[in-house]
């Protein structure tokens, strides 16, 4: 779908449909909605008076124009209470309205920049949010379906603005929104792929293509070099699979060469059976998405390369499968990580922290700082925070707060979790330096404390996206399946650090 900002009167453009909006409790529509209401002979006001249109958040009402304006249909989208309006709601309303119009067969749609008038939202940010909402909300993954889709796709979304003085800033917002949303959809594509189409080698190929297409540097460390580097934790997980592990490095150099690089680390377990500590069969197919953190990091690097902030960024993705076999890692085994620490294996289903241990150790060797890792690490975080919020853990309050703010701007909720010293006790081993599971209680925190053992003093944030990496139904700008969570958060963080 093409999205662009145009100048003009939305009632006079030859479109399949137009989207206007209404706040909850408004009895007399104003602005662009008021202009459309007037052109339609007051039908919107009439429907408000009759109680059919209430303006509640994501409420969708379709009106046939009957030739009174150029567009055949008008969508009145509810924005909810005016005081609660934010960019995330604008994304969501746009997504819901676009999905509704796709079902109705619309191909060319016009919309206003929601909230940019009476809502008090900056016009550039509104245009970005509308663009993101449209592209994210209309995402589909049909690669492996041979049947033609029953509904046509929307080909064009026009953001229509009468005030020409706002056009240049709105076009900037639209361009940025397109970059952000398309990168997020790349991460969704990767995590939605079945594991036989997204092996560690396939992940490496995606990274190479992104690097080639967007002017990045890419290096893939193979198994033999991992052995020389002493990456015993990553190699231990990889032992159970016939697929060769890959350690992927992507670099963007936009800042002063003397400056340290922001490090982004993404867990890349392309299928997680649990290994010898095998998972229950229910929902096991969803474990193809255990590389969502790695996908998010690769996709974020693409957007960073397009936006060209003045900062250096390096991404690290340890990629492998976690499978049971005659050569697989066993409970009771001891591994030695790249930094020399020995790890007692309590459960082979706590494999993500093992591959991240070597990745974080390598990141420290490269002197990357600060570090942010993204991982579908623990079911415990999913239990604690549900599907709506990722967990943040770290050793540096300043960078934690920057990550949370970057998430708020992206409409991705992040909640800081505690990292009290007492939780380290649960990871103590009788036979090694540390064990890879602290047990049932506080599992998200003990998982983060395990990672902290490989960070030392480097400023670091761990994002646990176990609950937010996929959704079971369409919800606002999220579409059933992989969500692409953390892509836009990481990009926003890079842009904010570059501005500093």
The catalytic site residues sit at 279, 353
Which residues 6+ apart lie within 8 Å of 433 measured at CB?
Answer: 341, 342, 343, 453
> Both tokens of residue 131?
């663009």
Q: Which residues of 271-286 are buried (b: 16+ CB within 10 A; e: fewer)?
A: bbbbbbbeeeeeeeeb
Which whole-number Å values give the CA distances from 306 to 178, 180, 256, in the listed order? 11, 10, 18
Q: CB 302: neighbour CB atoms within 10 A?
A: 26
What CA–CA distance (Å, rounded) separates 40 from 42?
6
Which whole-number Å values give the CA distances from 35 to 19, 314, 318, 472, in the listed order? 13, 50, 55, 39
DSSP letters for 384-441: HHTTS-EEEEES-HHHHHHHHHHHHHHT--EEE----GGGGGGG--SSSSEES---ST
Which whole-number Å values give the CA distances from 15 to 24, 174, 269, in the listed order? 27, 19, 45
Comparing CA positions, the residue from 365, 390, 381, 379 lying closest to residue 454 is 365
Q: Are 263 and 369 in contact (CB under 8 A)?
A: yes
Q: Which three-class secondary structure state does DSSP give residue 348?
A: coil
């Amino acid at each position: 779908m093409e999205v662009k900002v145009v100048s003009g009167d939305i009632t006079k453009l030859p479109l399949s449909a137009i989207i206007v909006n209404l706040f909850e409790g408004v009895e007399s529509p104003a602005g662009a909605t008021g202009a459309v209401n007037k052109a339609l002979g007051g039908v919107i006001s009439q429907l408000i008076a009759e109680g059919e249109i209430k303006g509640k958040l994501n409420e969708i009402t379709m009106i046939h124009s009957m030739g009174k304006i150029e567009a055949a249909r008008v969508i009145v989208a509810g924005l909810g209470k005016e005081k609660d309006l934010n960019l995330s709601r604008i994304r969501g309303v746009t997504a819901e309205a676009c999905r509704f119009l796709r079902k109705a067969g619309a191909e060319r749609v016009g919309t206003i920049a929601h909230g940019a008038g009476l809502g008090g939202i900056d016009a550039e940010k509104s245009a970005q949010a509308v663009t993101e909402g449209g592209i994210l909300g209309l995402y589909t993954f049909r690669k492996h379906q041979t049947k033609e889709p029953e509904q046509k796709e929307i080909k064009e979304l026009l953001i229509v603005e009468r005030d020409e003085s706002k056009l240049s800033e709105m076009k900037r917002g639209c361009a940025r929104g397109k970059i952000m949303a398309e990168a997020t959809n790349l991460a969704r594509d990767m995590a939605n792929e079945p594991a036989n189409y997204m092996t560690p080698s396939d992940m490496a190929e995606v990274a190479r293509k992104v690097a080639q297409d967007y002017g990045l540097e890419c290096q893939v460390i193979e198994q033999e070099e991992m052995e020389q580097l002493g990456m015993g934790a990553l190699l231990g997980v990889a032992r159970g699979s016939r697929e060769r592990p890959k350690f992927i490095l992507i670099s963007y150099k936009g800042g002063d060469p003397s400056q340290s690089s922001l490090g982004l680390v993404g867990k890349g377990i392309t299928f997680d059976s649990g290994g010898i500590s095998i998972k229950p069969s229910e929902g096991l197919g969803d474990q193809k998405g255990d590389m969502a953190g790695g996908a998010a990091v690769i996709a974020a690097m693409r957007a960073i390369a397009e936006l060209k902030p003045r900062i250096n960024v390096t991404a690290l993705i340890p990629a492998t499968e976690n499978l049971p076999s005659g050569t697989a890692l066993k409970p009771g085994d001891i591994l030695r990580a790249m930094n020399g620490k020995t790890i007692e294996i309590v459960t082979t289903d706590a494999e993500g922290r093992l591959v991240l241990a070597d990745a974080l150790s390598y990141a420290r060797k490269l002197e990357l700082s600060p570090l942010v890792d993204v991982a579908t690490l623990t079911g415990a975080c999913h239990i604690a925070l549900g599907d709506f919020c990722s967990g943040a853990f770290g050793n540096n309050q300043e960078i934690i707060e920057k990550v949370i703010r970057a998430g708020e701007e992206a409409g991705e909720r992040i909640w800081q979790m505690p990292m009290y010293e007492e939780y380290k006790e649960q990871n103590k081993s009788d036979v090694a330096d540390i064990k890879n599971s602290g047990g049932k209680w506080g599992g998200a925190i003990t998982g983060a404390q395990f990672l902290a053992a490989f960070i030392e003093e480097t400023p670091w944030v761990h994002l646990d996206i176990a609950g937010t990496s996929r959704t079971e139904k369409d919800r606002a700008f999220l579409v059933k399946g992989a969500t692409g969570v953390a892509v836009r958060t990481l990009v926003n963080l890079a842009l904010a650090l570059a501005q500093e």
